[in-house]
Structure 1
Amino acid sequence: MDFGKIVSRIKAILSSPQTEWPVIAAEPDTVRGLYRNYICIVAALPVIAHFIRGSLIGFGGFGMHAHTPIGMGLLGLILHYLLALVVTYLVALIVDALAPTFGGTKDSVQALKTVAYAWTAGWVAGIAVIIPWIGWLVGIAGLIYGIYLLYLGLPHTMRCPAERAGGYTAVVVIIAIVLSWIVALIVGGIIGTAALTGTSVSGIHVSGDGSTVTVDPDSTLGKLSAMSANTARAEKDLENAQKSGDVAAQQAAMGKIMSGDGKTVSVSLSPETLRGFLPDELDGMKRSDFNAQRSGAMGMQISTARANYSDGKERSLQIEVADTGNMRGMMAMASAMAPSSEQQTEHGYQKTYTDHDRLVHESWDTQTRMGEFGVIVANRFSVKASGNAEDIDQLKQAVGDMDLDKLESLKNEGVSSN
């Protein structure tokens, strides 16, 4: 194993992908060789960083500090690592299977190269989780850049026409996100086979004589079908924009692909707007360490804001608000597929459910008295409270005090039909 070669490849794919992808595509390799000489090493970087952050450095502030127990941290490290390796291979299978659809050539080794080297940006950026307050921004940037790398690499590795790389990228990204989400839930024990089965055929109606089949547009299957149709239409727009060389039109088309409903969020909410949802004081706790950021690439914009609150004694909470912009299509897909579920543990619980058309996830540890409560608003905004509290109700109250109805009223801000 040549670590020097691995470092050189990381530098090259991140700094000069246009010239590195042809080199990668021409290299002879095998699935086993890619895993042994690259994937198993680079994919471990963010996993180790999460373990260091959670079990060795810990979380907290204002005199409050918490660590994930070493045993649990090691178990999480192993599961996280194995999950990363498995999902990498599954997404490579998807890339390979979709190649003919987008005018490409099937090749399982080239597909694995595509995923491994495109995901390098996210794996490397994941190391930044160790850095308080800044790491999450670096992580978002890494994910966005990884999508760009995928877009650049597909014409070389899978030999698809350059004008169809955008649609190919969008479909892979959407499937990869949903796949990762589902597998993560399965590994976490949040959902089971029955729950998945319950969502798989809902919304299909067959006539009495079996001659016609219709799909309920409000069902999960109907929503996925509509999203797929919108993606296909947007792909044609992207092809035309690429032929014309109109960069603005390309970004708009890419935004429509990622949104899934034929509309784009030209500008996500400003950091200042999100800051307005983080009050100076929350239930007797003062705000500090405020951070806000807006970033974007390839037709996507994401705005995020977070702040810490503490009473200077026992309670210490972190509030996060995010505008996912054109990723709201993916949010809608996740919400549509999410079953209600609950898991009890020795020291607490975690559950996912829908409340007033909003996807909710909550977890609580009675031993550490820490937890989180998150809500998806209008399939566009994510709001989460996490940290140390007397009980889960305090986290719920913190989110409830943030005027979610006002946030929902902004769901069409920056949205345009094209």
Structure 2
Amino acid sequence: MDFNRIMTRVQAILKNPKATWPVIAGEPTTVRELYIGYILLLAAISPVAAFLKLSVFGVGVPMMGTYRMGFGAGVGNMLFSYGLSLAAIYLVGMVVNFLAPTFGGEKNDLQALKVVAYSYTAAWVAGAAQILPWIGMLIALAGSIYSIYLLYLGLPVLMKCPSHKAMGYTAVTMVAAMVISFMVSVVVGGLFGGMGMMPGGQMNGPGQGSFDKDSPGGRVEEWTRKMESATREVEQAQQSGDARQQSEAMGKMMATALGNDGQIETLAPERIRAFLPEMLSGYTRSSISAERTAAMGFQISTATASYENGSGNTLDLEITDMGLARGVMAFAGWFGVEQEKTTDTGFEKTYRQGKNFFHEQWDSGSGSGEYGTVAGERFIVKISGPAVDIEVLKEAMKGIDLAALAALKNEGVKK
């Protein structure tokens, strides 16, 4: 990683983008080189700044004082958001490449990733300002706006779209980027009660450095290798002219970008429904439902049930097959995500035991809580409702055959 070269490029793209874009367009590079030599460093600025603001400097809360996120939770959130942003960048690049013909441009997956990565420069650099008081958010906003402008200037040069279509191309790309960011936040927030955060050449050739295989950096390198392989398959499919082959290749690329080795067909409603027992720790099932929904090639299956006891108390059980979104769990594993916080009336924590994640949330004021886990890095299981304490929910979880559910983690996976 050449720090001086990175700083020179940052200054050039920010100060003189019109002259810099043609230089970028003509540079030979690979996905790995883009990540290792540029994206990995700059994408870390905003997560690090957020960590400093939340866990070191703290956030002033009117009439209440300064709030600081726990150090461990802050580090976990920082690393997790960083890992997910690396995937988001690639996904936005895929969108840019996919949209190119629509706006009179030429498809080129590497040029698409380049235009996204270098356009994000302004937003990444401005992200450091969030450690400042109120003006920091204004600076960050200005950086985001300037990144949109950089994208507008870069699309005609790198994707070869007509200049008069660049505005529409930029607008659609930014909408897609916001959708991707929202999807990541929803998926992660749904997993752990609000932890969600906001984006081919040869790999490891002679003389090139690399991270330790099992380190977070090593995992990212392995991910980029798979992305390059999936990209080549898309290129071959496009050359074949076979629409079905092109669709399958694009689907595989999307799966790889989310950390999966293939597309996934989630469990049918009747299959996932079978894991909702009639009795649950002395509670009798009073209602049950299951469904499978799909959009943009993604499937999610959900089964829910309510249980009542003789005292009129109710527990709700929900099992979700995340499908392709299970790859998010891989990112969580790479970066060792954990969280713990306490309040005057309860606590919330997310932790890992072995290969499994667990989430506990309890509010003594309302006498209710939630206990959840992830089986087989694919199935989210949550039990919630009023109880004497969190142990009641943990005991109820024992009534779910988690081992059998985890055994289905590879069912429906299409290599």
For the aligned pair, the TM-score class normalised by the smaller chain equals: 0.5 to 0.7
1:183 CA drift (Å): 9.4
The aligned counterpart of 1:158 is: 170
After superposition, residues 263-342 of structure 1 pair within 5 angstroms as 263-342=261-340
Q: Judging changes above 3 Å, is the alpha-carbon distance between structure 1 residues 369 and 276 closer, same or farther for their aligned structure 2 residues?
A: same
- Residue from 218, 229, 234 that aligns with 1:233: 229
1:326 CA drift (Å): 1.8
1:219 CA drift (Å): 2.9
| 1:380 is aligned to 2:378 | yes
Whether contact under 8 Å (1:353, 1:359) holds in the other structure is yes
Between the aligned partners of 1:187 and 1:279, the Cα distance in structure 2 is 25
Between the aligned partners of 1:383 and 1:187, the Cα distance in structure 2 is 13
1:370 CA drift (Å): 0.9
User: TM-score normalised to the size of structure 1?
Assistant: 0.52
User: Which is worse superposed, 268-277 or 234-243?
Assistant: 234-243
User: Which secondary structure does the structure 2 equivalent of 1:237 belong to?
Assistant: helix
Between the aligned partners of 1:238 and 1:373, the Cα distance in structure 2 is 41
User: TM-score normalised to the size of structure 2?
Assistant: 0.52
- Residue from 250, 262, 271 that aligns with 1:253: 250
The aligned counterpart of 1:224 is: 220
1:227 CA drift (Å): 2.4
Whether contact under 8 Å (1:234, 1:262) holds in the other structure is no
Rg larger in structure: 2
Q: Which amino acid aligns with 2:231?
A: E
User: Which secondary structure does the structure 2 equivalent of 1:232 belong to?
Assistant: helix
The total of aligned residue pairs comes to 262
Q: Judging changes above 3 Å, is the alpha-carbon distance between structure 1 residues 328 and 256 closer, same or farther for their aligned structure 2 residues?
A: farther
Between the aligned partners of 2:233 and 2:314, the Cα distance in structure 1 is 48
Whether contact under 8 Å (1:350, 1:362) holds in the other structure is yes
Between the aligned partners of 2:302 and 2:190, the Cα distance in structure 1 is 23
1:330 CA drift (Å): 1.8
Between the aligned partners of 1:416 and 1:96, the Cα distance in structure 2 is 20
- Residue from 376, 388, 391 that aligns with 2:389: 391
Describe the superposition over 1:99-121 as per-residue Cα deviations: whole angstroms up to 9, x where unpaired.
Answer: 654475859669869xxxxxxxx
The aligned counterpart of 1:406 is: 404
1:222 CA drift (Å): 2.5
After superposition, residues 10-159 of structure 1 pair within 5 angstroms as 101-102=112-113, 106=119, 156-158=168-170
Name structure 2 gaps, 5 residues minimum: 1-80, 97-110, 121-143, 150-164, 197-206
Q: Judging changes above 3 Å, is the alpha-carbon distance between structure 1 residues 372 and 242 closer, same or farther for their aligned structure 2 residues?
A: farther
Aligned-residue Cα RMSD (Å) equals: 4.4
Describe the superposition over 1:248-298 as per-residue Cα deviations: whole angstroms up to 9, x where unpaired.
Answer: 641453244334456324421111111111001111211133121112233
Between the aligned partners of 2:179 and 2:276, the Cα distance in structure 1 is 31
User: Which secondary structure does the structure 2 equivalent of 1:272 belong to?
Assistant: helix
Name structure 1 gaps, 5 residues minimum: 1-86, 114-152, 192-210
The aligned counterpart of 1:363 is: 361
Q: Judging changes above 3 Å, is the alpha-carbon distance between structure 1 residues 325 and 259 closer, same or farther for their aligned structure 2 residues?
A: farther
Whether contact under 8 Å (2:192, 2:350) holds in the other structure is no
Higher relative contact order (CA 8 A, sep 6+): 2
1:336 CA drift (Å): 3.0
Between the aligned partners of 2:363 and 2:266, the Cα distance in structure 1 is 34
Q: Judging changes above 3 Å, is the alpha-carbon distance between structure 1 residues 231 and 175 closer, same or farther for their aligned structure 2 residues?
A: farther
1:347 CA drift (Å): 0.2
Q: Judging changes above 3 Å, is the alpha-carbon distance between structure 1 residues 314 and 301 closer, same or farther for their aligned structure 2 residues?
A: same
Describe the superposition over 1:311-350 as per-residue Cα deviations: whole angstroms up to 9, x where unpaired.
Answer: 1525311111111112221222134334333211100001
After superposition, residues 196-211 of structure 1 pair within 5 angstroms as none
1:410 CA drift (Å): 0.8
